[in-house]
Amino acid sequence: MSEKNIEILEKLAEARKKILEEIKKVIVGQDEVINNFLIALFSNGHCLLEGVPGLAKTLLISTMAKVMDMKFSRIQFTPDLMPSDITGTDILAENKTDGKRYFEYIKGPVFSNIILADEINRTPPKTQSALLQAMQENQVTAGNKTYDLDKPFLVLATQNPIEQEGTYPLPEAQLDRFMFYINIDYPSYEEEKEIVKLNPENSMDLISPVLSAAEIVEIQKAVTKIPVSEHILDFAVKLTRSTRPQYKNAPDFIKKWVNWGAGPRASQYLVYAAKTKAALDNRFTPSINDVKEIATIVLQHRIIISFAAEAEGLSSKDIIKKLISNLE
């Protein structure tokens, strides 16, 4: 790794402390969620968040955008939302000098750095799919033209686990675009008391930006150049392949409890996220522990469990934890 990349990554480890200090002015607790957000951001990956209403999901995302000095858009997903409401649309305009009419493309809210896709499962798959190209290729195609999105580009989507009426579960192709699936839990007793005392409106005015969009892109490029030893790659690939019941070396409980396992993108994300986690901790190469610690949030939404697992009250999270301990 070059001296320049080492310098950039050292800057990241220093910036992390300042980022956390700024976020803590508004957000109480949620340390693990914030750390996972930072890993996703600097790995250039997207996150799907699940949590009951009132856990400050929206506030956390908007706070992070302000700390990073990035453009932020919130899209409220509803059953009547159209794909053009996300990507933009052509409108008929008129040239004031000669009176000729022409089509002008008006960019939608997807043209930002951080997108909050609020309650993404409330809109039909046709509209959900409007984000697919943006999430995978950082581009939007409208008519015969393709537009590049600003970098960095991060989609943070939320869904409510309680209300299932009038929702449309995300298809597997859409789920696979998300690097992390993060569950947000209730705060502790002491944290909830602090939340009650805090006035988030006043606190938001106290936030100062720590990194610019250009600096974040520079860090993302530096992270990709972090060297990874062969045994880490072997562990990540073996872990992903072991989630597949068709894999000959998969444990018996996987063959019993899993109908479909994770694809190669999961192996990539395990390694990318482990690199970023190491960099945030001021280390220049990831360890197997880094892979283990982010394995659940990378794999849990990529595994389709069987009826046998459901009958035993098991979730994909439980199966992944058992698989990790089985590989140790």
Q: What is the mean pLDDT of the chain?
A: 84
CATH number of 14-210: 2.40.30.20, 3.50.30.50, 3.40.605.10, 3.40.50.300? 3.40.50.300
Confidence grade of residue 267 (pLDDT, cut at 50, 70, 90):
very high
pLDDT for 234: 93
Contact between 223 and 275 under an 8 Å Cβ cutoff? The reply is yes
Domain boundaries defined on the chain: 14-210, 226-328
Percent of the chain at pLDDT > 90 equals 14
User: pLDDT tens across 5-53, in order?
Assistant: 777 878 888 888 888 888 887 777 778 888 898 899 898 889 888 877 7
pLDDT on residue 291: 92
Q: Give 226-328's CATH code, choosing from 1.10.8.80, 1.10.287.3510, 3.40.50.300, 2.60.40.420.
A: 1.10.8.80
**pLDDT, tens digit (0-9, with 9 covering 90-100), for 89-114:** 878 777 777 777 777 778 888 888 88
